[in-house]
Amino acid sequence: MANNKVLIVDDDAHIAELIKLYLEKEGFKTNVAPNGNKALQLFKEEAPSIVILDVMMPEMDGWQVCREIRRISNIPIIMLTAKGETFDKVLGLELGADDYIVKPFEPKELIARVKAVLRRFESKDTQAMKEIVFPNLSINLSNYELKISGNIVEIPPKELELLYFLASNPNRVFTREQLLEEVWGFDYFGDSRTVDVHIKRLREKLEGVEGNWQLKTVWGVGYKFEVR
């Protein structure tokens, strides 16, 4: 891995130092931000390969930082928080987080999650040019670009990855659980609402576009990208 920088964002200095020590022991370079504003500054200056992001912080919380990062980058984000409710996990996923770990945590588990998320990201990043083209629709996973009727449309990374995955498996039905696992890399944890939210947003972008394709709900099962 050419870039092995990790940005640690946590207002608890003891936790940040603990994460820093374990990561550096594994050969990672680290930067630590005690708040959201500093995190965004360091993100732009240091170009980390992954962000470990605490949720509960003063001034700007982790959700806001995640939103801001996702506007400019698809770099992996692991949310770190004392909250373990399903709602918080779903919200993190909807905002584009790649993984989620709850405090208190085992440092070895966090290291394993960091390595697993980076492996998934690098696998996508190093693959050959990936573009799927249908009438009035172009989905390019290499440069994370969506074109609808020839026009570039802004789209969050996870929405694009979901659309690409479905379109690369035309006419095949996937359950919400399968989509969570394939697109987010998550084991199913009991609430698949985030998939429904992403599908809804995709439909809004694709509404009224003519083509031989359709993002379709298969009631009682899941979703498919239907090509006629």
Q: Is 140 helix (H, G, I), strand (E, B) or coil?
A: strand
Q: How many angstroms separate the CA atoms of 64 and 53, rounded?
A: 11
Per-domain boundaries in the chain = 5-126, 131-227
Of the candidates 115, 98, 96, which has an alpha carbon nearest to the alpha carbon of residue 107?
115
Q: Please tell me the class of the 5-126 domain.
A: alpha beta
Same fold, 5-126 and 131-227: no
Residue 63 burial (CB count, 10 A): 21
Which runs of E-coded beta strand occur in the chain?
A: 5-9, 29-33, 50-54, 77-81, 99-102, 131-134, 137-140, 145-148, 151-153, 174-175, 213-218, 222-227
Q: How far is CA 124 from the centre of its chain?
A: 12
Of 3.50.50.60, 3.90.1150.10, 1.10.10.10, 1.10.600.10, the CATH number of 131-227 is 1.10.10.10
Running DSSP on this structure, what letter comes out for residue 11? Answer: S
Written as tens digits, the pLDDT of the chain (228 aa) is 445 899 999 999 999 999 999 999 999 999 999 999 999 999 988 889 999 999 888 888 888 999 889 887 888 999 888 766 656 666 767 777 888 888 888 888 889 889 888 887 776 655 545 788 888 999 998 888 999 998 999 888 889 999 999 998 889 999 988 898 888 776 545 467 888 989 999 999 998 888 889 999 999 899 999 988
Q: How many angstroms separate the CA atoms of 166 and 226, rounded?
A: 9
Phi-psi region of 208 (alpha: psi -120 to 50; beta: other; left: phi over 0): left
Tell me the two tokens of residue 126. Answer: 């190093």
The pLDDT score that the predictor gives to residue 124 is 61
Phi-psi region of 142 (alpha: psi -120 to 50; beta: other; left: phi over 0): alpha
